[in-house]
């Protein structure tokens, strides 16, 4: 989308080849760095600075450091053989040193450093044979040329074939086109933080005048990071406003059906569940549309909260839908919630991609007539031919499998229902704000009583036989177990083979008491395998990560995870959360291929230490960085270029407040700051959000 982009930004969105030193070939290389326009280049900050400030001599420069000195050329010593280096003795303000050149024609070296003349040389210093020397200096310049050598030379992250000089020339060229842009940040914040304006910040980034420019919290970097966060939060705030403005209808339940379902439960809801149910009911009853996130660690009992919300919509005379990310989960919800719906006198309909032909038509008719009060299913629920008579509420389970965009699509469905999304991904606050900044949040911070801790152990893959023997004893003692083989994204083929091979091997021990489930299986086989495990005929379930989210088989008490080091921590936590749900003491065996790297060790150790999903998430963030924790693509989290969700965590909350506040004072973004904000959204390519201003 480029229509509507402010003219002032045109130079920053021109072809990269319009920059100095950038031809087609170089542009191709830049693409590998995700740099396709001058703007991207400005947002591609140096990762290192080399101090090239002049000094009189090498005194005090430790070996391995870069020095820049003015020297007089005293003597050339050509190498005796072609392989031997060419040495140049030079004098500085103290006693002098030697420049060493390999593989350069002697005539070239002599032309570059004429006897008796002065040159500025810059490069890494070392000591050889008690003599100080500079091997292959980075720069040999005349005094006139030296004026162009920056005191702090930026070194950029690069890719093979793309030299530093090309990048910095291109960056400076982009900088020279950078316009002065109006300020979009709240003026009080700018002055409190001593932040430079946008252009000056870019200048400081690419023409650094001190080491400070590299610190993530230096004013310039901080400001640019904030720009990114602000654009993101502004987009979320616009989405949120649009949702709220979309006339919601108050959905006021009578409480009758919910009470009947709760009475059929074998347990009492936890305090946290009651609170979440109340918060959601209040949201649904309000004029505005609900856009709420229910966050709760695995096993915290989110399904029950969803049930109450679904039933209130029916009580109010409307329809409700529950969407799960996988077929298995959708079916499980249907089965698990079935008796409770029955107690309330509601007959839910299950709709998935598997429904075809007359069966599907029948279901669609029930949905369209309103006869189906509650509809459960996969994303097939929201395909174009599904028409609800009166959809009041959409609940989306395991939201982290869906992105922000999908969420927005769903909320535009039909008469724009209230939306409740549920996630078990316990994410640190900064990430929560990044991914869910447009939503209100309910948290289940209390687990149902009686949960026993899961004993977690690390086992090297060399001890496979012991593990199998242990499992056999456990199965003979009546226990059930999951056995997970990792999903390798690039090659699910080999991953599949791994699961299939393991299944065959375990069959030799367990016969038909072991079963297999994976994503590529025909649906009917998948159901059969899950049913056999849930029903207890199968005692061991070999699986790829399809069981990662939501599966609930309370009798299973052992979790074996092969190649645990290949999983993300949050994922391992989710997998482990499949056990420890019943009466029996549970265990989780994390198998790994030795040797285990330091980070991998540290990560697995955290799992042994705690079952607190939030702590695990914080540690994971610390060890791996934000994108990996959620899986950037899945989370809908943008790829920030300068902002770092860990380093700039506090700024995310500030950006959220700032964005929401601006929208209350200038809802159409037409005031002076509002217009500047539009420019920011264009600059950060969050301009899609601007369209919401119109649809809203
Ligand atoms: P999740 O939040 O991971 O989706 P579930 O909703 O699947 O968790 O609940 C996990 C298990 O805890 C289920 O077996 C459910 O029946 C049980 N459960 C839920 N709420 C309670 C409660 N208040 N007391 C006891 N058990 C509960
Ligand atoms: Mg769940």
Q: For position 686, what pLDDT does the model report?
A: 79
Q: Identify the residue with better confidence: 640 or 251.
A: 251
Res 627: pLDDT: 45
Distance of CA 552 from the midpoint of ligand 1 (Å): 9
Q: Which ligand is nearest to the CA of 580?
A: 1
213-245, pLDDT tens digit by residue?
Answer: 888 899 999 999 999 999 988 988 887 777 666
Report residue 264's pLDDT band, with 50, 70 and 90 as the boundaries: very high
Give the pLDDT confidence of 92-116 residue by residue, as tens digits: 988 889 999 998 899 999 999 999 9
Indicate if the pLDDT at residue 507 is higher than 70.
yes
d(CA 22, CA 437): 39
Alpha helices in 286-326 (DSSP H): 302-315
87: closest CA among 128, 33, 50?
Answer: 128
408 — pLDDT class (breaks 50, 70, 90): low
How far apart, in Å, do the first and last CA atoms of the chain sit? 19
pLDDT tier at 339 (50, 70, 90 boundaries)? very high
Residue 585's pLDDT is what?
87
Mean pLDDT over each residue of the chain, to the nearest integer:
87
**pLDDT, tens digit, 9 for 90 and up, residues 23-71:** 999 999 999 998 999 999 999 999 989 999 999 999 989 999 999 999 9
Nearest alpha carbon to residue 394 among 367, 421, 371, 368: 421
- Greatest alpha-carbon pair distance for the chain in Å reads 101
Q: Which CATH class is domain 256-444?
A: alpha beta
**pLDDT band per the 50, 70, 90 thresholds, residue 687:** confident
Q: Establish whether residue 301 lines the binding site of ligand 1, counting it when its CB lies within 6 angstroms of any ligand atom.
A: yes
Please report the atom of ligand 1 found closest to the CA of residue 304. Answer: 6
List, in sequence order, every residue forming a beta bridge with 460; answer none if it has no partner: 592
* Closest-CA residue to 451 (of 278, 275, 270): 270
Under the banding of pLDDT at 50, 70 and 90, the label for residue 695 is very low
Token representation of residue 122: 């810059």
| 269 CA distance to ligand 1 middle (Å) | 9
Would you call 300 exposed, middle or buried from its count of C-beta atoms within 10 A (0-12, 13-18, 19+)?
A: buried
CA dihedral 326, 331, 333, 336 (to 10 degrees): -150
Residue 416 confidence (pLDDT) above 80? no
Q: Identify which of 638, 191, 186, 137 has the alpha carbon closest to the alpha carbon of residue 437.
A: 638
- For ligand 1, the distance from its centroid to the CA atom of residue 445, given in whole angstroms, is 13
User: For residue 195, how far is the Cα from the chain centroid?
Assistant: 27
| Residue 410 binned pLDDT confidence (cut-offs 50, 70, 90) | low
- pLDDT computed for residue 242 by the predictor: 73
Architecture of the domain defined by 454-610: 3-Layer(aba) Sandwich (3.40)
pTM beyond 0.85: the answer is no
Lowest mean pLDDT across 192-196, 376-380, 421-425, 544-548: 544-548
What would the two tokens of residue 311 be?
């039933």
Q: How far apart are CA 424 and CA 295, in angstroms?
A: 6
Cα–Cα distance between 461 and 458 in angstroms, integer?
10
**Residue-level pLDDT at 406:** 60
Over residues 631-649, the mean pLDDT reads 66
Domain ranges of the chain: 53-149, 256-444, 454-610
Tell me how far the alpha carbon of residue 46 lies from the centroid of ligand 2, in angstroms: 43
Evaluate if residue 674 carries a pLDDT over 50. Answer: yes
Specify the ligand 1 atom closest to the Cα of 269: 23
573 Cβ inside 6 Å of ligand 1? no
Note the pLDDT of residue 401.
56
pLDDT at 635: 40
* 694 pLDDT above the threshold of 90: no
Closest by CA position to 485, among listed 549, 554, 573, 548: 548
Q: Whose CA is nearest to atom 27 of ligand 1?
A: 448
Token representation of residue 200: 């000056």
Question: With pLDDT > 70 as the criterion, what percentage of the chain qualifies?
Answer: 90
Residues in the chain: 696
Supply φ then ψ for residue 645, to 5 degrees: -65, -20
Predicted pLDDT at 600: 80
Looking at residue 413, its pLDDT comes to 63
Q: Is 333 in the pocket of ligand 1 (CB under 6 A)?
A: no
Ligand 1, atom 15, lies closest to the CA of: 301
Residue for token pair 């044979």 = 129
Helix (H) or strand (E) holding 510: helix 492-510
Where does residue 194 fall: left (phi above 0), alpha (psi -120 to 50 degrees), or beta otherwise?
left
d(CA 696, CA 691): 9
Token digits of residue 324? 């799960």
3-state secondary structure at position 692: helix
CA atoms in the 13 A half-sphere facing the CB of 325:
22
pLDDT at 623 over 80: no
Ligand 1 contact via 307 beta carbon (within 6 Å): no
DSSP state letter for 402: S
Average pLDDT of the segment spanning 175-186:
96
Please state, in angstroms and rounded to a whole number, the distance separating the CA atoms of residues 225 and 239.
22
The yes-or-no answer to whether 256-444 and 454-610 have a common fold is yes
Name the closest ligand to CA 303.
Answer: 1
Distance from the alpha carbon of residue 324 to the mean position of ligand 2, in angstroms:
9
Tokens (6 digits) for 145: 């040329």
**Site to substitute for ligand 1 among 301, 324, 447, 549, most atoms within 8 A of C-beta:** 301
The more confidently predicted of residues 547 and 640 is: 640
Q: What is the DSSP letter of 408?
A: H
CATH match for 53-149 among 2.40.50.140, 3.40.50.80, 3.40.640.10, 2.60.260.20: 2.40.50.140
pLDDT above 90: residue 125: yes
Q: Tell me the pLDDT band of 2, cut-offs 50, 70 and 90.
A: low
Mutate which of 273, 303, 534 for ligand 1 pocket (most atoms within 8 A of beta carbon): 303
């Amino acid at each position: 989308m480029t229509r509507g982009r402010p003219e002032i930004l045109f130079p920053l969105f021109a072809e990269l080849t319009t920059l100095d030193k950038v031809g087609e070939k170089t542009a191709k290389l830049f693409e590998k760095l995700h740099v396709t326009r001058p703007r991207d280049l400005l947002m591609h900050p140096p990762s290192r600075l080399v101090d090239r400030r002049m000094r009189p001599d090498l005194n005090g420069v430790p070996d391995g450091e870069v020095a820049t000195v003015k020297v007089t050329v005293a003597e050339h010593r050509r190498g005796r053989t072609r392989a031997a280096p060419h040495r140049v003795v030079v004098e500085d303000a103290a006693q002098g040193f030697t420049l060493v050149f390999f593989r350069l024609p002697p005539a070239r070296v002599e032309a570059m450093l004429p006897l008796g003349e002065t040159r500025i040389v810059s490069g890494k210093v070392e000591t050889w044979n008690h003599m100080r020397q500079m091997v292959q200096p980075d720069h040999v310049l005349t005094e006139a040329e030296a004026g162009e050598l920056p005191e702090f030379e930026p070194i950029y992250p690069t890719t093979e074939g793309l030299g530093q000089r090309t990048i910095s020339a291109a960056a400076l060229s982009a900088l020279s086109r950078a316009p002065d842009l109006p300020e979009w940040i709240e003026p009080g914040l700018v002055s409190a933080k001593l932040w430079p304006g946008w252009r000056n910040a870019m200048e400081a980034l690419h023409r650094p005048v001190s080491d400070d420019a590299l610190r993530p919290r230096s004013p310039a970097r901080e400001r640019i990071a904030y720009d990114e966060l602000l654009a993101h939060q502004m987009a979320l705030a616009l989405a949120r406003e649009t949702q709220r403005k979309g006339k919601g209808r108050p959905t006021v339940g009578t409480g009758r059906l919910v009470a009947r379902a709760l009475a059929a439960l074998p347990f009492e809801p936890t305090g946290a569940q009651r609170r979440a149910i109340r918060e959601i009911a209040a949201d649904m009853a309000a004029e505005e549309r609900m856009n709420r996130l229910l966050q709760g660690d695995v096993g915290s009992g989110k399904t029950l909260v969803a049930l109450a919300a679904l039933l209130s919509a029916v009580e109010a005379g409307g329809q409700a839908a529950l969407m799960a990310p996988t077929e298995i989960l959708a079916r499980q919800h249907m089965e698990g919630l079935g008796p409770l719906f029955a107690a309330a006198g509601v007959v839910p309909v299950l709709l998935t991609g598997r429904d075809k032909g007359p069966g599907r038509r029948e279901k669609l008719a029930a949905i369209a007539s309103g006869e189906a009060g509650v509809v459960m299913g996969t994303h097939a629920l929201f395909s174009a031919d599904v028409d609800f008579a009166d959809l009041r509420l959409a609940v989306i389970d395991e939201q982290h499998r869906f992105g922000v965009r999908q969420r927005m699509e769903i909320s535009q469905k039909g008469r724009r229902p209230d939306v409740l999304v549920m996630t078990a991904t316990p994410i640190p606050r900064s990430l929560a704000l990044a991914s869910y900044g447009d939503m209100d949040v309910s948290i289940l911070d209390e687990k149902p009583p009686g949960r026993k801790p899961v004993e977690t152990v690390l086992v090297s893959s060399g001890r496979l036989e012991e593990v199998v023997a242990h499992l056999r004893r456990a199965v003979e003692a009546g226990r059930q177990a999951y056995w997970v083989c990792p999903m390798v994204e690039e090659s699910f083929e080999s991953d599949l083979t791994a699961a299939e091979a393991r299944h065959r091997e375990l069959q030799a021990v367990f016969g038909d008491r072991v079963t297999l489930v994976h994503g590529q299986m025909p649906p009917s086989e998948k159901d059969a395998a899950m049913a056999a495990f849930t029903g207890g005929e199968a005692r061991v379930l070999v699986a790829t990560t399809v069981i990662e989210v939501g599966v609930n088989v309370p009798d299973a008490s052992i979790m074996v995870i092969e190649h645990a080091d290949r999983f993300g921590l949050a994922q391992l936590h989710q997998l482990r959360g499949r056990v420890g749900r019943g009466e029996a003491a549970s265990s989780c065996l994390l198998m790994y291929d030795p040797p285990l790297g330091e980070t991998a060790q540290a990560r697995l150790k955290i799992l042994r230490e705690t079952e607190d999903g939030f702590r695990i998430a914080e540690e994971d963030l610390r060890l791996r960085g934000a994108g990996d924790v959620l899986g950037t693509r899945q989370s809908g989290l943008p790829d920030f270029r300068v902002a770092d969700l860990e380093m700039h965590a506090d700024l995310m909350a500030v950006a959220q407040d700032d964005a929401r506040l601006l929208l209350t004072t200038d809802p159409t973004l037409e005031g002076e700051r509002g217009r500047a904000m539009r420019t920011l959204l264009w600059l950060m390519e969050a301009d899609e959000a601007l369209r919401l201003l119109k649809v809203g």
